[in-house]
Amino acid sequence: MISIDTSAVSNQVMWNRLISVVEEQAQALVRTAFSTSVREAGDLSAGVYDQHGQMLAQAVTGTPGHVNAMADAVPHFIRRLGYDNIFEGDVYITNDPWEGTGHLHDITVVSPSFHNSKLVGFFACTAHIVDIGGRGFGADANSVYEEGLYIPIMKMAERGVVNKTLIQIIRGNVREPEQIVGDVYALATCNEIGHRRLIEMMNEFSLGNLESIASFILDNSREATLAAIAALSPGSAHGELHIDGYSSPVALKVKLDICSDHIMCDFAGTSGLDKKGINVPLVYTKAYACYALKCAIAPEIPNNAASLAPFQITAPENSIVNALHPAPVALRHVIGHMIPDTVYNALDQLLPRTVPAEGASALCNFQVSLRPRTDVSANDENLSQQERADLLNARRSEVLTFNSGGSGARPSADGLNATAFPSGVMTMPIEATENVGPLIIWRKELRPDSGGAGQYRGGLGQYMEVGATAGHEFDFSAMFDRVDHPAQGRQGGQDGACTVIAQDDGTPMKGKGRQFVPHGRKVMLEFPGGAGYGSVAQREKSAVRNDLAQGILKLQTLFAH
């Protein structure tokens, strides 16, 4: 007779149940959030933690920058508040870049979970909000004090009573108060959904606390991750990546050590702090370095505190990847999203044919601040009746869009077109973007020939043309990289195409920073492609024919190779 460990089976069932609980938590946030960055792009995270603040499970929906950084955040909440100040019905909040997820535009909400009047764990979630005041979402600030409203770790609600003073302060400091306050309540609500489902599970399995299931999850995750590392050959390698930066190029450097029971990433030698807001708090650097290693080495092991622990990340203080307060950090994602490519440039030397070629990496985001045109007055006698009506109907609005270049080719497959790796957020539909403000997306399509050639082709970037409805002018906050430093091919693959940005009359624009666009002008964008993998001479002829048939590759480009 076969002996079955029923406790292990039930623990596995409960583990899977916890993952479904946090996925429902995340989907509740998607359905109730006001900002398109959450509803359409999925720029969020959700997770459940034990009573000590250790992450047990994360939602599939979300970004590694959020969820891996949020894994470190809950212990900060516990430390700041103290167990004796944690009550049933409480809701906690912060957007601290160093104790949250890296910049002021991410709000993290944590809620304690009580069962039979005893604290059993926590739920946490994070979402990117469209505005937090200050200079607005962009790289232009000189310190974090200019970047917007700072909310220290504090109570948004105590014993079920909302802190209305805090809500008034938030409303009074942001450009889109309805959206922001709506998102804050959505964050709190999704934690409540998670709590309800957790209590249902605990009642179903007659659990008084989460200690047993937490031990099962963390012990098994730790053992599996350590086994995956132990199966590798020990070794060291150096990797580096050169990218645009703000006003001067940035060098990211890493030394990677594979040891018997851990992997160490040391970013010594990386560029120092930038004067503008592209610096990265260490918590965000750790999030993406761990994610890169986990994707390559232990992708099947669920993400939690124990499976992340063997990946150890260090960086010199006040390097661009370990920015200390009060460094400006609003666009920490532009540099942070380049960290996996840097790690992979080292890992490729130790684990050949494992990691992809470089991709666009950083999201191709931009924020548009629209307002009535200022070059004329509604009283101007030279205006036509239609122009006067357009001006009088114009309104202020903040519109944030999420877009992607191409991902790098993989060792056995082409890169993905217009796909955000490593962030994983979705490209926003035109209709959703235009619905929240007087913005017009005149063109949005794949960019042929932008993926680097190779045995496997890099993913394509996109074309976009962006303008405003009549009567408006706008400021365009660019958040791009790969303008001067395209994605580099791997193992003989060719580079991807660079980012290109200009106004439709040829006026040049910068890859980063807030820039004025007058009434009637458009911004013309070409997003970067991913790099190729392997020699183009080895590409299957059927794949080339398919590229030509779909317009991915132009005939003249084929002959050029």
Inform me whether the pLDDT recorded for 554 exceeds 90.
no
CA distance 5 to 17: 19
In three-state secondary structure terms, 113 is: strand
Q: What is the pLDDT of residue 558?
A: 57
Inform me whether the pLDDT recorded for 394 exceeds 90.
yes
Q: What is the pLDDT of residue 4?
A: 41
CA distance 512 to 139: 7
CA distance 388 to 249: 45
The pLDDT of 391-409, averaged and rounded, is 95
Task: Note the pLDDT tens digit of each residue in 217-243.
Answer: 999 999 999 999 999 999 999 999 999
- Tokens 């202020």 correspond to what residue? 396
pLDDT band at 379 (very low <50, low <70, confident <90, very high): confident
Cβ atoms within 10 Å of 449's Cβ, excluding its own: 19
Task: Note the pLDDT tens digit of each residue in 416-454.
Answer: 999 989 998 988 889 999 999 999 999 999 999 999 999
Buried b (16+ CB within 10 A) or exposed e, 470-482: bbbbbbbbbbbbb
Report in angstroms the alpha-carbon separations of 364 from 91, 106, 360, 473, 525.
Answer: 34, 18, 8, 22, 10
Q: What is the pLDDT of residue 382?
A: 87
CA distance 222 to 228: 10
Handedness of CA 465, 466, 470, 473 (dihedral sign): negative
Higher pLDDT, 214 or 553: 214
All residues at 6 or more sequence positions from 377 whose CB lies less than 8 Å from its CB, including other chains = none
The pLDDT of 494-503, averaged and rounded, is 97
CA distance 516 to 526: 19
CA distance 129 to 404: 19
The pLDDT of 166-175, averaged and rounded, is 98
Rounded to the nearest 10 degrees, the angle between the axes of helix 339-350 and helix 282-297 is 40
Inform me whether the pLDDT recorded for 38 exceeds 50.
yes
Task: Note the pLDDT tens digit of each residue in 326-338.
Answer: 999 999 999 999 9
Inform me whether the pLDDT recorded for 80 exceeds 50.
yes
The pLDDT of 26-35, averaged and rounded, is 95
AA letter at 348: D
CA distance 237 to 349: 7
Cβ atoms within 10 Å of 546's Cβ, excluding its own: 13
Task: Note the pLDDT tens digit of each residue in 284-293.
Answer: 999 999 999 9
Residue (of 208, 229, 18) closest to 117 by Cα position:
208
Q: Where are the beta strands (DSSP E) in 307-409?
A: 311-314, 366-372, 397-401
The pLDDT of 465-474, averaged and rounded, is 97
Q: What is the pLDDT of residue 3?
A: 43
The pLDDT of 539-561, averaged and rounded, is 80
Structure-token pair, residue 519:
């009434």
pLDDT band at 381 (very low <50, low <70, confident <90, very high): confident
Inform me whether the pLDDT recorded for 253 exceeds 80.
yes
CA distance 218 to 226: 12
pLDDT band at 60 (very low <50, low <70, confident <90, very high): confident
CA distance 404 to 533: 20
pLDDT band at 559 (very low <50, low <70, confident <90, very high): low
The pLDDT of 161-172, averaged and rounded, is 98
Asked if 78 and 439 count as a contact pair (C-beta separation under 8 A), the reply is no
Q: What is the pLDDT of residue 305?
A: 96
CA distance 229 to 250: 31
Task: Note the pLDDT tens digit of each residue in 104-159.
Answer: 999 999 999 999 999 999 999 999 999 999 999 999 999 999 999 999 999 999 99
Inform me whether the pLDDT recorded for 463 exceeds 80.
yes
Across the chain, mean pLDDT equals 95
CA distance 254 to 267: 4
Higher pLDDT, 185 or 560: 185
The pLDDT of 263-289, averaged and rounded, is 98
Inform me whether the pLDDT recorded for 556 exceeds 70.
no
Buried b (16+ CB within 10 A) or exposed e, 20-58: ebbbbbbbbbbebbbbbbbbbbbbbbbbbbbbebbbbbb
pLDDT band at 2 (very low <50, low <70, confident <90, very high): very low
